[in-house]
Structure 1
Amino acid sequence: MTLPITQQLAERVERAEMNTLLSRLKGIQKREGNPMRVQMHRFGEAMLFLTPGIPGGGFNKLMGLRNEAMPYLDMILAEFDDANMPYRIDVVPGMLQTESFQTLSKRGLHHLSFHGALVGACKKPVHTTEDVEVRQLARDDFQLYAELYGMSFSMPAFLYEAIAENNVILYDEPGWSFYLATMDGAPAGIASMHVHDDVATLAAAGTLPDYRGRGVHKALLHARMEQAVSQGCELLVGQATFASASQRNMQRCGMQLAYTKAVWGPIPS
């Protein structure tokens, strides 16, 4: 079923992504001593996420920026400057007026890229991938989860332990589930999902290079769709690099592009 794309739906998709990141970082923040140094600050409807222990824009960003939050901009940028690390500001279509974009530019920020947000009505998948088996992870599977995640994204092995610890902490958090895909008994990919209210967010997914193009990502999508339906969810949302294989797989499973967000930030040095 095709959903009419409205501003209200776009805001709902954005809130789902914010709720997922908020839940993830609240969980990581609970680790003894807060080793990732997680901080979260709200400015009106906007939410600032800072995680110096996990460099990169995915965990160090501003979401939910509206015209009403622009008076807080200097305060927000001061928080980023104090952290002294790369960050990004996600801007959803329809949220800012021309004057707000001009203000961002005057503060030395630039439009750097786009990122796709997808949405679909929750329904059981019509097709399954018979060669791929998917099961939910147990608590003692997270070292394997971390290794598969790291290898899927070409991350150095010394990060695997931190990946495991930052995800196993979510095992008992409300709404989280984790998945392992295998082919012929061999691990092939992993995924996670977060449910908040009646919206399921496809939080992460990775496929080992040797298994790409063989239906692993599709099978992980199907497993999460079935779980979302069983939990009574109304919407399924996800994020993907624009025009990527991940976006195409989501669209083949019945999801559609809700919008492409504009990613703003300082020019990388």
Structure 2
Amino acid sequence: MITIPSAQLIEEIERSEVDYMRDRMIAIQSRQGNPEGIEVARFGNATCYYSKTMPWASFNTVKGFRSNDLDAIDAILDFYRSNNRKPLFEIVPSLVDANALKRLSERGFYPSGFHTSLYIEPSSLIEGLSDDIRIRELREEEFDSYASIHCRGTGLSDDGIPYVAANNRVLYDRPGWKFYLALYRETPAAVGVMYMKERIASLTFAATLPEFRNQGLQQSLLLRRIREAAIQNCSLVVGQCSFLSQSHRNMERIGMKIGYVRTSWVEG
């Protein structure tokens, strides 16, 4: 059983986050005509994601950055500036030293927030499910329903529903991806997504409709996905969330532990 995060575990957690985002972005890019204007570039260890139509930080992020990528900083910045976009650097403790942070600061970047990566071994899971909750895999024809919960659960406008549906539908048949629908007393109320690669599962997204919060839906979705990861012989499950958010609390309640808290560096 893993009890204390090691250097190897930290790298495995970060790699799982890089892998799921890369696969997601490549899938969206493969839509006919690349309507979201997706580009993925690699500079040293750093993978850079960009979307022309989606300006949010999660789609314009630098993942996997290391101290030995100092010479690539200007090339990374040129990649985003040529696309008229300001990137977000995800900085993982122990993988980036003071010199790299100083260089980012000299380029006008500063730490703007914190994000937690948690982990659990599937075999250490203790399960439990309310009688009011039923969870099943999402059907291919249900992506409009998925997108509705996705948008309303995260505060996005309903105008985004067709775009969210299209950008997630392309993941449905890709290896490693699984979508789940949670029903509260048989009413669709929450969704969760998972990506598996090389025996590591990433809990990539989850949302609950506001009117169904505080009913245990997210904990139930966590349990279901972790159970599936165990069935698929995954040795590690990783989840990401804002530090001390409700998602963070839910993950700790079902036994997940903090692997690290990374900082988000943005340009001033």
Unmatched segments (≥5 aa) in structure 1:
none
Amino acid at match of 2:258: L
Aligned to 2:182: 181
Percent sequence identity is 33
Q: Partner residue of 2:144?
A: 143
Matched, 1:169 2:143: no
Output the CA distance in 2 between the equivalents of 1:247 and 1:257.
9
Equivalent residue, structure 1, for 2:204: 203
Q: Following the alignment from structure 1 to structure 2, what is the Cα–Cα distance between the partners of residues 246 and 162? A: 25
Equivalents in 2 of 1:96, 1:224: separation in Å? 31
Pairing 1:106-255 to 2, within 5 Å after superposition: 106-123=106-123, 124-255=125-256
User: Pairwise CA RMSD of aligned residues?
Assistant: 1.1
**Which TM-score applies when normalising by structure 1?**
0.97
The separation in 2 between residues aligned to 1:253 and 1:83, in whole angstroms, is: 42
Native 8 Å contact 1:5 1:258 kept in 2: yes
Cα distance in 2 for partners of 1:197, 1:46 equals 20
CA contact (8 A) 1:55 1:86 kept: no
Correspondence for 1:18: 18
Give 3-state SS (helix, strand or coil) of 1:95's partner. Answer: coil
Residues in 1 aligned to 2:97 and 2:127: alpha-carbon distance in whole angstroms: 42
Distance 1:86 1:153, change over 3 A: farther
Question: Which letter does structure 2 place at the counterpart of 1:59?
Answer: F
Q: Secondary structure at the match of 2:104?
A: helix
Deviations 1:63-121 (A, max 9, x none): 11111111010010011112223420000001122111111111111111111111111
Are 2:76 and 1:76 equivalent residues in the alignment? yes
Distance between the aligned counterparts of 2:154 and 2:17, measured in 1?
Answer: 21
Q: Is the 8 A contact 2:128 2:220 kept in 1?
A: no
Amino acid in structure 1 at the alignment position of 2:120: G
When normalised by structure 2's length, the TM-score is 0.97
Q: Separation in 2 of the partners of 1:3 and 1:251?
A: 14
Deviation at 1:158, TM superposition (A): 1.0
Shift of 1:229: 0.8
Where does structure 1 differ by over 6 angstroms across 4 or more consecutive aligned residues?
Answer: none
What SS is found at the alignment partner of 1:83? coil
Q: Give the conservation status (yes or no) of the 8 Å contact 1:117–1:238.
A: yes
Letter in 1 for 2:201: A
- Gapped runs of 5+ residues in structure 2? none
Letter in 2 for 1:232: N
Distance in 2, Cα, partners of 1:98 & 1:66? 11
Amino acid at match of 2:148: E
Q: What displacement does 1:174 show?
A: 0.5
CA deviation profile, 1:146-181 (whole Å, cap 9, x unmatched): 001001011111110000000000001110000100
Q: Secondary structure at the match of 1:25?
A: helix
The residue type paired with residue 118 of structure 2 is L
